[in-house]
Every structure is written in structure tokens, then in C-alpha cells.
Amino acid sequence: MKRTAIAVWKGSGKDGNGNLTTKSGVLENTAYSYKSRFEDGKGTNPEELIAAAHSGCFTMALTFKLDEAGYTATELHTDCAIDFQNQTIVESHLKVKARVDGIEKDEFDMIINDAKENCPISKVLDTNITLEYTLN
């Protein structure tokens, strides 16, 4: 399986702009620029897309691992914050609110940490990955 995206950029690094398109159509000529990446300008940026990818991948991995252990989550809510400093992603922080009936905290702790370590996006990120969660 391959997933693809296209980036088109026009102009200089600071004054130019670009757009991103994915084969699925979820992103279609989605704007990005210096301002959307390094300031609060309109559009997306690579770090925001990494946060979306990591939170989505991790949450699915956690769901599958819970399934394997015999649990079904009522709801999993994952926020991912990418810390980008000096042209380097220094951390991806996952903050999870989980509602899983019948699971003990120790078992959930083992499962959620396994998901953190083994989701495909976690494996590709060369950075510190931190995790905090609440279990209801």
C-alpha cells in the first residue's frame, strides 16, 4: 500500500506560497506558506499534518490493541502537539482521554504504551514521544 501527496511551491521561501494535494482528495490545493508555518497565517503546515497523522495513527493502533485484549473503547480522544524548535521536531506529545469499560488501569497502561511505541507514525518519527492519559 502506498499513500501519496503532492506539494507545489511558487516563489521564495518567505514570500512564496504553495499548496498540498492528496490522492484521497482530503487535501485539495490546500494552502501553506511561510506565515502558516512560522506565524499564525492562514493555511496548514507540515507540523500540523504530522500532528494529525500521529494522533490518527496512534488512536487506531490503540483501538486495535484494545480489540485484541477483548475491550471496545466507548471513546478515545487524542490531542497531539508537535513541538517544532530551531528547524527540528523535538517532541510529539500525545494527550488521551479514554473511556473503556471494564479495563483496569495497569492493563490499560501497558496497552496504551504499546500503541505509542508501535504505531507506524511513532516508528517513523525521530523524536521524543510523550504520553499522558486519563481513563474513565
pTM of structure:
0.94
Would you call 124 helix, strand, or coil by DSSP? Answer: helix
Asked if 81 and 92 touch (Cβ cutoff 8 Å), the reply is yes
Q: What is the pLDDT along the chain (136 residues), one digit of tens a residue?
A: 999 999 999 999 999 999 999 999 999 999 999 999 999 999 999 999 999 999 999 999 999 999 999 999 999 999 999 999 999 999 999 999 999 999 999 999 999 999 999 999 999 999 999 999 999 9
Neighbours of 59 (CB within 10 A): 20
Closest CA to 99 of 80, 78, 130, 69: 78
Q: Break the chain into its structural domains and give their ranges.
A: 5-38, 46-135
- Which stretches of the chain are assigned E, i.e. beta strand? 5-10, 17-22, 30-33, 73-85, 88-100, 128-135
DSSP percent split of the chain into helix, strand, coil, nearest 5: 35, 40, 30
How far is Cα 92 from Cα 12, in angstroms, rounded to an integer?
A: 29
Instruction: Mention the CATH class of domain 46-135.
Output: alpha beta
How far is Cα 15 from Cα 33, in angstroms, rounded to an integer?
A: 8
